[in-house]
Amino acid sequence: MTKTKCPLTEIMSFFNKKWVLIILFQLSLNDPRRFNELEHLIDGINSRILAQRLKEMEEIKIINRTSFNETPPRVEYALTQKGKELLKCFNYLGNWATKWK
């Protein structure tokens, strides 16, 4: 008998990583946001971890990274359509938790 991998388990494992939900929250309030802006808004995060989490989020296509050919260079991060749909799930879960707490 082979085990089938639950897609929910995989994505929940990603969301359990420190800072992921906070980064998503900041992008949901106002996107696009620049790297330094996110670093400033998220108290306690360091630039190495922020860069790592943004890269991971970009790899699963919930955020988009846009580079501008300017001096100094400018990079912005924004939610993709997939990321915006994901936020709807969290909003629903939040409403459910409020209703049933």
Answer whether residue 1 is part of any domain: no
- Condensed to tens digits (0 to 9), the pLDDT of residues 55-93 reads 999 999 999 999 999 888 899 999 999 999 999 988 898
- How many domains does one find in the chain? 1
Characterise 32 by phi-psi region: left (phi > 0), alpha (psi -120 to 50), beta (else).
Answer: beta
Domain-located, residue 27 = yes
**Domain containing residue 91: CATH number:** 1.10.10.10
8-state DSSP, 45: -
Span 33-48, pLDDT tens digits: 999 999 999 999 999 9
Q: Is 93 within the bounds of a domain?
A: yes
Judged by DSSP in three states, 14 sits in helix
> Is residue 41 domain-resident?
yes
